[in-house]
């Protein structure tokens, strides 16, 4: 059982971590509102946190590994097994397994617990948003373009973060030479406008994008020598580390 932070890092949510991957953790939120448990809420022992809680299987989601702040308790194996069985049933649109400590089933649309679930789902969205923002993006250009459209942010609001004018189009088309054309601080400022947090997943997307534009050996040998002197190369890893540091707000 861990505490994870939301998009802004201001709020913590207790969760049970079901699976751990390189880019994401699958988690089930916990709630002390046990009286509103449904058939998809598993009651956990009071001894875990010192008060009764339910695991909201219907509300499970994914977070970045960087969002996990602290492990606060270890869920007993029988309870973890029960939770995983309930999650599998929910994922398969099956009935809840027999013998689990869950709440009464929701039988109609007038059940007041549905309003509670709507509010809880909205609350959890800020915790899922960092992974949702990166989902499906193979390049930095795809990420920036899709995120800007999703948040309906005018291009001008981002263009003013760096010079010369027009760099955003190149960024979104994955044709911009990031190392030469865009300071890492400007790229970090762009991510903040797009509400994208620092993560190793983001760092890998950035590196893939940069590496995809690097010249082949033959092209590199043919490059004009004077161009190499006037536009010295920037180390890729150093650029990425500077970018992450700027995005996190860390001091050099």
Q: Is residue 128 part of a domain?
A: no
Mean pLDDT on 89-102:
94
170 and 84 in a common domain? no
Q: What is the CA radius of gyration of the chain?
A: 23
Record the pTM.
Answer: 0.82
| pLDDT, mean of residues 31-50 | 94
Q: How many domains are there within the chain?
A: 2
Both structure tokens of 84: 């995983």
Distances (CA, A) of 117 to 13, 39, 123: 16, 12, 10
The pLDDT score that the predictor gives to residue 129 is 93
Domain of residue 82 covers 2-104
Residue 159 and residue 93 in one domain: no
Provide the pLDDT confidence category of residue 165 given band limits of 50, 70 and 90.
confident
Residue 68 pLDDT > 90: yes
CATH of the domain at 28: 2.30.30.110
Q: How far apart are CA 80 and CA 161, in angstroms?
A: 47
The mean pLDDT value for 128-144 works out to 93
- Which of 104, 126, 158 terminates a domain? The answer is 104
Same domain, 225 and 152: yes
Confidence of residue 166 (pLDDT cuts 50, 70, 90): confident
For residue 52, cis peptide bond before it (omega within 30 degrees of 0): no
At 230, is the pLDDT very low, low, confident or very high (cuts 50, 70, 90)?
A: very low
- Picking from 104, 127, 162, the residue at the C-terminal end of a domain is 104
Task: Answer whether 86's CB lies under 8 Å from 97's CB.
Answer: yes
In a domain, 188, yes or no: yes
Shared domain check, 94 and 156: no
């Amino acid at each position: 059982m861990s505490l994870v932070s939301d998009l802004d890092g201001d709020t913590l949510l207790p969760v049970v971590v079901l699976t751990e991957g390189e880019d994401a953790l699958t988690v089930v939120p916990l709630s002390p509102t046990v009286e509103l448990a449904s058939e998809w809420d598993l009651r956990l022992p009071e001894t875990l946190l010192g008060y009764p809680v339910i695991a909201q299987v219907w509300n499970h989601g994914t977070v970045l590994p960087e969002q996990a702040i602290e492990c606060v308790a270890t869920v007993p194996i029988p309870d973890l097994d029960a939770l995983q069985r309930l999650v599998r049933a929910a994922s398969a649109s099956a009935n809840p397994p027999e013998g689990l400590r869950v709440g009464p089933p929701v039988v109609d649309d007038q059940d007041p617990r549905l309003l509670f679930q709507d509010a809880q789902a909205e609350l959890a969205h800020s915790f899922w948003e960092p992974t949702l923002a990166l989902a499906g993006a193979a390049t930095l250009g795809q990420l920036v373009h899709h995120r800007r459209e999703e948040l309906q942010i005018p291009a001008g609001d981002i263009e003013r973060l760096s010079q010369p004018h027009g760099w955003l189009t190149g960024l979104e088309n994955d044709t911009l030479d990031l190392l030469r054309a865009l300071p890492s601080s400007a790229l970090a400022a762009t991510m903040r406008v797009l509400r994208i947090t620092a993560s190793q997943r983001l760092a890998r997307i950035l590196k893939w994008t940069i590496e995809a534009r690097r010249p082949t050996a033959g092209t590199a040998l043919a490059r004009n020598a004077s161009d190499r002197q006037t536009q010295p190369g920037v180390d890729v890893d150093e650029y990425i580390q500077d970018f992450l540091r700027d995005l996190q707000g860390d001091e050099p």
